[in-house]
Chains A and B, each alone.
Chain A
Amino acid sequence: MKIFVCIKQVPDTETRIKIASDGNRLDLAGAKWIMCPYDEFAVEEAIRFKEKNSDATVTVISAGPERVKEALRTALAMGCDNALQVALPENADSFMTAKALAKSIAAEGEAHIVFTGKQAIDDDAAQVTQAMAEFLDMPAVSVVLRAEYGANQIQAEREIEGGSIEKYEAPMPCVIAAQKGMNEPRYASLPNIMKAKKKVIKLVSLADIGVTADEIKISYSGFTLPPERAGCKMLEGDVPTQSKELVRLLREEAKVI
């Protein structure tokens, strides 16, 4: 039974964003790269499934340049069995990424479940889960807080507006995208980290899976930093005075109440 988990390597949340001098890309030299936090829940879910199903193997896949091997090794150290790097250029969009992941999974054999994180915290596009499922011709449930796995079907709960829950029943094979809180991701132990360093990571080229550069459907230009605010107006006096002044300013100056 083949279980796949797709992970993305992203700059950590403390990273200061610098725009390259041509304005058309980001300068991420010096960023600290981590596994996307949502993908940690996906990896944990895949490993827990394996622990309950002795015939399951977990293959972790990341699409991206050489550096993504580091994230793959983290997933191996957590307990994944095999790792695969799809050599994807940095400017790939969600469409191309989803297609490359789908074709690499299909090339590995019949998937039982494919796990992803609900969103990557770099481009924040949140497209790859359902797009990949579409390429794989599989059902998918995204933003999943809880899942129960039967022999042929998954019962999944998805978070929507206001904390309400949509319940789904999906046949396998199926794609499941993890939301924060689905589980508590484990830390890799030192011996497992050492073992993961020695594992072979399979490299898949775009030519191997028949994906070409014209699969990119959007590109970015004209990067800007968020506009600075005019500065904070500090309100003077005691609390009742400050409070009345704030109400007045929000009404007369900012015109928001």
Chain B
Amino acid sequence: MAKIFIYCEQSTGKLKKGAIEVLSNACTWGSEIHALIVGKPGSLGEAAAEASKYAVTKVHCLENDACDTYSPEGFATVVANTAKAESADVLLTSLSAQTKDFFPRVSVKLESGMASDCTAVSLEGDTLKATRPMYAGKCYANVEFSGAKPAIATIRANALGGIKDSTGTGSDIAHVAADAGNIRTKVVEIVTSDIAKSGTIDLTEAERIVSGGRSLKNAENFTILEELASVLGATVGASRAAVDAGYRPHKDQVGQTGKTVSPVLYMAFGISGAIQHLAGMRTSKVIVAINTDSNAPIFQKADYGIVGDLFEAAPQLTKDFKEALS
């Protein structure tokens, strides 16, 4: 049976949603599943308990005082050493700012092949099958791994269809003093943005996104989209034209030179649907477009369309969703 290791990112002692998505789905594959959590000694109890709720063979808490904050070198050393010592066949994680950063180092340490940002993964016998988008989602390809074991893949948030119910019975939790190697650079400070402080989910993790374009005309008008987003529990995004005009910060930009998102619901208000915008959101499950121009290219990629003025439609939708969801 394949031995599958899943690096589960934690933040202030809690597992990230993406980590639970990968862990809970892998637990349905009928393989031997190991969860890896990294942090300083004494800080991982809650995260380990959460991981042990799933049908995991073992939860490995890899502990070192130097891992109190994130460092690419330290985290790569800890994860690579464990995967090697335990003869992992497959090493998976949810794609995030952190795993995107240090997993390439793990692949070099292990001389393993790595597929980034996969939208589908499965096991065929003991072999990992992965599919990933390229050219900002303009095409997909299957990945064949020819490097040393483990085969490594990072997985896009929501690609596995969200978190599966827990089926475990409380698995073994091991606390291990881990060697973090030579750390030359680590996070010395985190400046939390207002968005992160407010608890709003990041665009890349959001299940629902309400996005606006140039046609919003100014920053203040985005309030009508924020109101809708708050009713839907959605995160607000923007086109590059809206970002370049200064209506929204760059971190809100969806598209080829912004964020790649894959929510369950993407609502585009007054966005024409340029190829570079589609590149960032075309894998969304359901796309709704609201545009005054019935020939706007966005309608070719949408599932539902409203030809109309967003300044009328957005407040009306806010009202109707509020009623429907109450």
A95 and B285: CB pair below 8 A? no
A134 and B104: CB pair below 8 A? yes
How many residues of chain A get a CB closer than 8 Å to chain B's CBs? 80
| A139 interface neighbour in B185, B202, B249, Cβ under 8 Å | B185
Q: Does B191 contact A (CB under 8 A)?
A: yes
Question: Is chain B's binding surface mostly helix, strand, loop or mixed?
Answer: mixed
A256 and B286: CB pair below 8 A? yes
Q: Does A131 contact B (CB under 8 A)?
A: yes
Tell me the bound Cα distance from A146 to B40 in angstroms. 29
- B56-115: which have CB < 8 Å to A? 70, 72-73, 76, 96-98, 100-105, 107-109, 111-115
Residues of A within 8 A of B112 (CB): 217
Contacts known (A14-B275, A164-B190, A170-B184); A130 close to B101, Cβ less than 8 A: yes
Residues of A within 8 A of B20 (CB): none
Q: Does A162 contact B (CB under 8 A)?
A: yes
* 1/0 contact string of A158-201 vs chain B (CB within 8 Å): 11111111111111001000001100000000000000000000
- B193-243: which have CB < 8 Å to A? 193, 195-196, 200, 202, 204-205, 208, 232
Q: Does B48 contact A (CB under 8 A)?
A: no
A126 and B116: CB pair below 8 A? yes
B193 and A164: CB pair below 8 A? yes
A140 and B72: CB pair below 8 A? yes
Stretch at the interface among B26-34, B141-149, B171-179: B141-149
A160 and B98: CB pair below 8 A? yes
A229 and B104: CB pair below 8 A? no
Q: Does B41 contact A (CB under 8 A)?
A: no
Residue of B nearest to A162 (CB): B196
Tell me the bound Cα distance from A98 to B108 in angstroms. 9
Contacts known (A122-B134, A234-B307, A242-B313); A130 close to B185, Cβ less than 8 A: no
B193 and A257: CB pair below 8 A? no
Residues of A within 8 A of B70 (CB): 166
A232 and B304: CB pair below 8 A? yes
Tell me the bound Cα distance from A250 to B208 in angstroms. 12
Residues of A within 8 A of B247 (CB): none
A218 and B205: CB pair below 8 A? no
Q: Does A127 contact B (CB under 8 A)?
A: yes
A94 and B104: CB pair below 8 A? yes
Tell me the bound Cα distance from A5 to B188 in angstroms. 26
A180 and B187: CB pair below 8 A? no
Q: Besides A121-B135, A219-B143, A247-B321, 14 other CB < 8 A contacts?
A: A94-B104, A121-B257, A131-B108, A134-B109, A140-B185, A161-B97, A170-B185, A226-B140, A234-B294, A234-B306, A239-B316, A243-B316, A243-B320, A246-B304
